[in-house]
Amino acid sequence: MNDPFQAPRADWQLPRGVSRGSWDYVTQSAIASEYDAYHAEQGLLRVDDQLLADWLGPPHPSPAWAIDLGCGTGRTLWTLDRLGYRVLGVDLSSAMLQQVRRKAATAKRPFHVLRANIVCLEGLRDHSASVVTCLFSTLGMVRGAENRQAVLRHIARILRPGGRFLLHVHNRWNALRDPGGAAWLWRTWWQSWTDRETAIGDRVYAYRGLPNMYLHIYGPQELRHDLRTAGLRVSNVMKLNQTATGPLNHPWWCSAVRSSGWLVLATTG
């Protein structure tokens, strides 16, 4: 049977909030099959994995559901499962979810997966999860401010009162430390005024053979505004160092520029 998700699509046929580069990314099976090896040395993945244990801990009360948005090959699901949560992985990539199913079957773990666009999560019930995670800059891959806000509203709706949300995003102002970063900040500001489809912080770049990957890079005030508007309250923040391998040293000093990004814990209610 032909998979409609894999069929070629014109730009106007792309799912809501999905850029051309992101669509090419989720529909290439090689991206999924090589994903774990490609990111094996990625320090950020070890940092957020540790925070799952430190900031979330076991579910209270148990049992409780944890949902990972943009789950990829299931890295975060394993940690949430070890902590004692029932887990659901959501991703737009069929190939990524096949990797999750294969690993879960081998380990005989009761993982659940859902193929969906995280902008359109109407199929998930209100107050159905105690924890939602959206890591490795997955939220930044959603194109359009209204679409990113839609994701956050869904998260606030899905979480139980007092539920917790763990998020990672990159820091826009960290570009000032890079060659050409100031010029990029100027261009993205100018483009946001001249093109209604572009927001300050939008970046298009080459990645793993794909020439037009999209990523929105947040400013700190923008992030807090979007979380607050969705009904989510920030309760903890880790400011990441330049290599995203751990917390920023001396975070009180110029962290708005020095931090490469943030891991944020937000709560409902």
The string of pLDDT tens digits covering residues 128-154 is: 999 999 999 999 999 999 999 999 999
- Identify the pLDDT of residue 269: 75
- Give the pLDDT score at 97: 98
pLDDT in tens, 200-229: 999 999 999 999 999 999 999 999 999 999
Q: Are 244 and 47 in contact (CB under 8 A)?
A: yes
Q: Residue 102 pLDDT more than 70?
A: yes
Q: Which tokens go with 153?
A: 């509203």
> Which pLDDT tens digit goes with each residue over 63-91?
899 999 999 999 999 999 999 999 999 99
Tell me the per-residue pLDDT of 151-180, one tens digit each, with 9 for 90 and over: 999 999 999 999 999 999 999 999 999 999
Quick check: 89 and 97 in contact, CB under 8 A?
yes
Is the pLDDT at 185 greater than 80? The verdict is: yes
Q: Confidence band (pLDDT; 50, 70, 90) for 2?
A: very low
How far apart are alpha carbons 62 and 64 in whole angstroms? 5
> What is the rounded CA–CA span in Å between residue 67 and residue 195?
35
Asked if residue 169 lies in contact with residue 134, where contact means CB atoms within 8 angstroms, the answer is no
Taking 60 as the threshold, does the pLDDT of residue 5 lie above it? no
Quote the percentage of the chain above a pLDDT of 90.
92
CA–CA separation, 74 vs 89, rounded Å?
7
Mean pLDDT across 183-187: 96
Q: Is the pLDDT of residue 6 over 60?
A: no
| Full-model pTM | 0.95
Q: State residue 61's pLDDT score.
A: 79
Confidence of residue 4 (pLDDT cuts 50, 70, 90): low
- DSSP letters of the chain? ---TTTS---GGGSPTT--HHHHHHHT-HHHHHTHHHHTTT-HHHHHHHHHIIIII-S-SSSS-EEEEET-TTTHHHHHHHHHT-EEEEEES-HHHHHHHHHHHHHHT---EEEE--TT--TTSPTT-EEEEEE-TTTGGGS-SHHHHHHHHHHHHHHEEEEEEEEEEEEBGGGGGGSTTHHHHHHHHHHHHHH-TT--TTEEEEEETTEEEEEEE-B-HHHHHHHHHHHTEEEEEEEEB-TTSSSBPSSTTSSHHHH--EEEEEEEE-
Q: What is the pLDDT of residue 1?
A: 41
Q: Bridge partners of 114? A: 90
Task: Give the residue with greater pLDDT, 94 vs 13.
Answer: 94
pLDDT at 7: 60
| pLDDT beyond 80 at 3 | no
Q: What value does the mean pLDDT of the chain take?
A: 94
CATH number of 11-268: 3.40.50.150
Residue 11: what pLDDT? 83
Q: Which residues are paired to 171 by β-bridges?
A: 218
Residue found under tokens 């294969």 = 102
The rounded distance, in Å, linking the Cα atoms of 258 and 113 is 37
Residue 76's pLDDT is what? 97
pLDDT surpasses 90 at 10: no
Residue 218's identity, in one-letter code, is Y
Q: Label residue 254 by pLDDT band (50, 70, 90).
A: very high
